[in-house]
Chain A
Amino acid sequence: MAIEARIKQTPKPETGVLGTLRETAKGLWSLIVGLGVTGKYFAGKQVTVHYPRQTVEPEALTGYRGHIELVGKPKTPDTPRCIMCMKCMRICPSGCISIKAQTEKLPPQPEVEEGPQESQVPPPQPKKPKKTLSKFSLDYSLCSLCSLCVLHCPVKSLQHSKHVYWAETDKKDLTVDLLERLRRSAKEAS
């Protein structure tokens, strides 16, 4: 519907001798308008950034999707929100994410005695072993920035960073531990 409306707005080229002349005059005028536009740009300010001498602040990089990074919890920014569900690792088409989790060793639970239930207090639930993230490494040399991991994280623990000026001379250096990176940036922020 919208497209149809737009098509109707486009005027048909005029015909006949006078019409052709008018069309030609319009065309010639458009040439001058075009020169005006480029002339204004020529005289105006430049919009490009002179990298390595100049860089852009991360805040100004709206819409830039850099490599992925972990998102910290609101209260403890050095701990990621990640619940180690491994969804991102499985969805990644390039296999760049590898996650290692440590399971907490719990002391053996005392046996709950079977017998007549005298007290009304229910026995304590067996405590689940606590899992902690010990490594979250990203091989950026393989990442295609497809965003699938970000979209699939159930707790929004992943986002694209604004880390634009990243270059390495060795491919191995492109593998980073995002957990360490998160801790470092949390420390810098505090």
Chain B
Amino acid sequence: MMQFTAIPEPALRLVLCIVALAVFIGLNGLLLVYMERKVAGHIQRRPGPFEVGPHGILTPVADALKLVGKQLVAPQGADPWLFWTAPILSFMPIFVLFLPIEFGPGLFGVQTNLGLLLILAFAGFNVLALCLAGWGSNNKWGLLGAARAVAQSVAYEIPLLLSLLAVAFMTGTLDLSETVAQQGAWPWQWNLVTQPLAFVIFFTCAVAETNRAPFDMPEAESELTAGFHTEYSGMGFGLFFLAEYAEMIVVCSLATILFLGGWKGPFLSGAWWFLVKMYALLTVMMWFRWTYPRVRFDQVLNICWKWFIPLALVNLLATAVLVKVF
């Protein structure tokens, strides 16, 4: 008979981790939806959600129940396989993205020395999901949204990788725990000080990566109704939505780890410093969304190809030279 202890420890850790992550993503999703609407409201000089619960705190719960309760409808002529694979494909890799992130001392899913690579590799899955969703839904808005998602990803992926590569050169590792370990507790000991340009490029590209305004062209509401998720109802849409928020958390966590010293802080280092920094970045992302108008398509390509790629390359070369010299 198999003993309980016969389950190998890493496997147990992984299962526990995935359950914990599912809870974490769900709760944060609810919180972010609430935050997003409150930020939008206050920036537009109105209170935002206010009716369900005190100060509308239960509005996202009501939203979630509504989404879960809705009927799933596929349009006529849609490819059922692609259509239903897409939301799942967009959501599933999220778990992998969270695994190597170190939230606090020793608080991570798997110990790997290639954590950064893992995240970058699996983050690209989202584009594939959007592409399938747009193609599978047999809708011109969906298709246009999918085409934009692909073209946009070609534009932002390269500067994103180049900017992260500069940090990897400096720290000499792709291990996220190691990156945090090399930074100190005080702000001037963070990588942000040595790599400010890389941070700006990374953060801008991260906004594009998560398809958020001003780079939300795949789902541009004003011209494409809702782009790739025009035809999705209920939890089909809900999964895309959750995936978008989860990806926001991932990119902000990555920025926190690589540039802002991870869970280290001046006093009482720990997971809560991580959350503070992550949520500060998330707030900035929301602030961007409700401030900037959506850029035009050629403008994204111009920003990425004409500015970010050369700048990131120069930054990378300079980093390489300095690392070699010192």
Spell out A's residues near B (CB within 8 Å).
Answer: 24, 31, 34-35, 37-39, 41-48, 50
Contacts and interface: CB of A to CB of B under 8 A. Distances in A.
Interface of B: 39, 42-47, 50, 287-288, 290-292, 307
Contacts of A34: 291-292
B45 A47 contact: yes
A41 B43 contact: yes
Chain A at the B interface: mostly helix, strand, loop or mixed? helix
B287 A39 contact: yes
B287 A44 contact: no
A48 B39 CA distance: 15
A46 B42 CA distance: 7
B323 to A, nearest CB: 28
A48 B47 CA distance: 8
Main secondary structure of the interface of B (DSSP, over half): loop
Given A31-B292, A34-B292, A42-B42, A50 B47 contact: yes
Contacts of A24: 307
Given A46-B47, A47-B45, 17 more contacts: A34-B292, A35-B287, A35-B291, A37-B291, A38-B290, A38-B291, A41-B42, A41-B43, A41-B44, A42-B39, A42-B42, A42-B43, A45-B45, A46-B45, A48-B45, A50-B47, A50-B50
Contacts of B50: 50
B45 A41 contact: yes
B34 to A, nearest CB: 16
29 contacts: A31-B292, A34-B291, A34-B292, A35-B287, A35-B288, A35-B291, A37-B291, A38-B43, A38-B290, A38-B291, A39-B287, A41-B42, A41-B43, A41-B45, A42-B39, A42-B42, A42-B43, A42-B287, A44-B45, A45-B45, A46-B46, A46-B47, A47-B45, A47-B46, A48-B45, A48-B46, A48-B47, A50-B47, A50-B50
